[in-house]
Amino acid sequence: MYLLILVLPFIGALITGFGGRWLGYYGASIFATACVSISMIFSLLAFYEIGLSGTVCYISLSSWISSGTLDVSWSFLFDSLTVVMLVIVTAVSSLVHFYSISYMQDDPHFPRFMSYLEIFTFFMLILVTSDNLIQMFVGWEGVGLASYLLINFWFSRLAANQSAIKALVVNRIGDFGLSLGIFLTFYIFQSVDYLTIFSLTPLLSSHYLQFAGFEVHSLTLVGIFLFIGAVGKSAQLGLHTWLPDAMEGPTPVSALIHAATMVTAGVFLIIRFSPLIEFSSVVLTVLIVVGSSTAFFAAMTGVFQNDLKRVIAYSTCSQLGYMIFACGLSCYNTSIFHLSNHAFFKALLFLSAGSVIHAVSDEQDMRRMGALVKFLPTTYSLMLIGSLALAGFPFLTGFYSKDFLIELSQVSVNPNLDNTSGAFACWLGSLSVFFTAFYSFRLIYLTFLNNTNLNKSVLHKVHESSNFILLPLIILSIGSIFIGYLTKDLFIGPGTDFWKSSIFILPNHSYFVEAEWLEAKIKWLPFMLSISGVLLASLINLTYFKFYLHTKFLRFWLFLINKKWYWDAIYNKTFVYPILKFGYFISFKNLDRGFIELSGPYGLSKLVSIWSKISVKLQTGQLTHYIFFMSIGLCFLFGIVLNSAHSFNLNLHLLSFYLVLIFFI
């Protein structure tokens, strides 16, 4: 059963991919959805068996690489962390499959789409179930590849191609860091198995390593490299540029990749490596700083974006920042709790956005929507649930994880803890709450409640989506309402033994009890901030109150944030184009076609012809010249013979001198 969870999507992908023409639209949709749904049922069973009944399942299939001390096998570890991820991935994936049946109905490449979705699910499952780093890397690269294929699904579009390549390449930067981390792990631990690594970690907590001429704490180095991998995959600040661009793919793809699965892989990696990261305070600080900066940056950028999907993408980026800084605060179980909740309401938001886009003839700009509440009441209510959950409205899922996260960061503000980076996270996280609420409701207002800006011809055609689209949304909205409440005690309840040994928190890093003793006004703070965000969005959109941005200063800021703080432009100017130019001018034109060609075949052939022409010129046809050369030659010969009798060095010098002389005659 455990292996069937993995095998079913794989078989589904193969059959739908290679036999798509034979299956046809109905065959592909039924087969693909059935495969993933059965996989979801099995993962729910696995969740019951492992998560609730408290067992751990370890399956070792076969040896893969065995060389010296390196022993990698195809084996699968199903513990609490894995089954939570399994349920999230398969549940969201099967709902997305179901949704795509109707959403991608008119697409001629439907079986290919389903096949890609399934291969994506398969690689994600490989990623979460593996018990060693190498096998995890298979899944890691696999989801990168699948994301390329999916973003690039409409391959005839230039923008889709570009953003798919961008996603792949930017991810690859992180993957490079991760692979360095894997090599380093093997160097330090002589093993890549999780269980070996984690049991050896406390032993090596004061192990130092020579790296680039410095004495480096080896666990810190491993943690940093793993975090670089997570930065790429989870779109943290620095390598986040691919995530908003990846919206070029079809909407179900965005929901699958950028809400629930792929971007969570980085967070999953960090949580999985909690036994290692706990022993390095540097890595924890880095996690906090980068995570909270990402949360704040993305939330602020999301405020001034006008593309419906891009707003949600930035919101994803922001929420991932929350998860990462939760890991930095050593609250791994809160992080995974937020991850699971976020998967539900973000998939809901993305899929509802897809429904809206579908309804208004593929218009994605929010400024050209409005007043859709009359036409799409169901989508409106679903999206409202999603937005409220995202904004952390009390008693919805977002509240249970996000507000608790903020509370935990409030604990670390306490000066006794001497955790200044925690205060940093607290401030940025709290501010992000405000922005999150603001852009969620700005989205709701601009799309549904304001006066319409749609064309009349488009407005005539606005219709509610089919039940195939609405059913997954309804299921997800139920999830968005109840999942947080239902799993709260399981995941982050005081003294819960759900995680067993899959998550490790050093006892002096645990603030769970302290979070219960915060002052009431601090506990109310996130809620107040999100309410004020909602109120501000309502104030701007409902009344005629306007922030007139006539001053140049404000306009500058507005423009800056709308252009995503010019990250892309700066990256292009400082890294991409210089490297591209280096590649073309230096390595291609100067080295490959220049220097190496000149010292290789091209230059040599040219040299021979030049020299032969020169030596031909020596024969002028004049008798006197020949006689001159004969006598000079005799003199040389005597000179060389006489000189070599004295010393050999002089001889060589003379020889070269004569050669040069002949060359320039």
Residue 63, beta-bridge partner list: 73
Nearer CB in complex with other proteins: 571/636: 636
Nearer CB in complex with other proteins: 587/620: 620
Nearer CB in complex with other proteins: 513/627: 627
Interface with other proteins in residues 624-663 (CB under 8 A): 624, 626-628, 631
105 binds other proteins (CB under 8 A): no
Smallest distance, Å, CB 620 to other proteins?
6
Specify the DSSP class assigned to residue 361. Answer: T
Q: Which tokens sit at 408?
A: 């935990």
Nearer CB in complex with other proteins: 566/626: 626
Smallest distance, Å, CB 626 to other proteins?
8
Q: Which tokens sit at 374?
A: 């009359």
Smallest distance, Å, CB 613 to other proteins?
10
Nearer CB in complex with other proteins: 205/612: 612
Question: Is residue 281 classed exposed, middle or buried when 0-12, 13-18 and 19+ CB atoms within 10 A define those classes?
Answer: middle
Nearer CB in complex with other proteins: 599/620: 620
Nearer CB in complex with other proteins: 394/639: 639
Which residues, at least 6 apart from 185, have a Cβ–Cβ distance to it below 8 Å? 133, 192, 197, 222
Which residues, at least 6 apart from 514, have a Cβ–Cβ distance to it below 8 Å? 411, 414
Q: Which of 456, 623, 646, 664 binds other proteins (CB under 8 A)?
A: 623
Smallest distance, Å, CB 628 to other proteins?
6
Rounded Cα–Cα distance for residues 428 and 61 (Å): 46
Residues 156, 158, 161, 167: is their CA dihedral positive or negative? negative
- Asked if 382 and 290 touch (Cβ cutoff 8 Å), the reply is no
Nearer CB in complex with other proteins: 158/623: 623
According to the 3-state scheme, what is the secondary structure of 454-479? CCHHHHHCCCCCCHHHHHHHHHHHHH
Binding-residue pattern over the window 582 to 621 for other proteins, x denoting contact by CB under 8 A:
----------------------------------xxxxxx
- Asked if 480 and 385 touch (Cβ cutoff 8 Å), the reply is yes
Interface with other proteins in residues 457-496 (CB under 8 A): none
Smallest distance, Å, CB 661 to other proteins?
18
- In whole angstroms, what separates CA 413 from the centre of its chain? 30
Smallest distance, Å, CB 607 to other proteins?
19
Question: Is residue 290 classed exposed, middle or buried when 0-12, 13-18 and 19+ CB atoms within 10 A define those classes?
Answer: buried
Tokens 């006008």 locate to 306
Smallest distance, Å, CB 637 to other proteins?
15
Alpha helices in 257-307 (DSSP H): 264-272, 274-277, 281-303
| CA-based radius of gyration for the chain | 32
Nearer CB in complex with other proteins: 66/620: 620
Smallest distance, Å, CB 594 to other proteins?
34
622 binds other proteins (CB under 8 A): yes
68 binds other proteins (CB under 8 A): no
List Cα–Cα distances, 395 to 50, 527, 566, in angstroms: 27, 11, 37
Nearest Cα residue to 318 out of 288, 278, 291: 291
Rounded Cα–Cα distance for residues 321 and 595 (Å): 47
Nearer CB in complex with other proteins: 570/635: 635
Residue 67, beta-bridge partner list: 70
Smallest distance, Å, CB 614 to other proteins?
11
Smallest distance, Å, CB 616 to other proteins?
5
Q: Residue numbers of the site for other proteins (CB under 8 A)?
A: 616-624, 626-628, 631
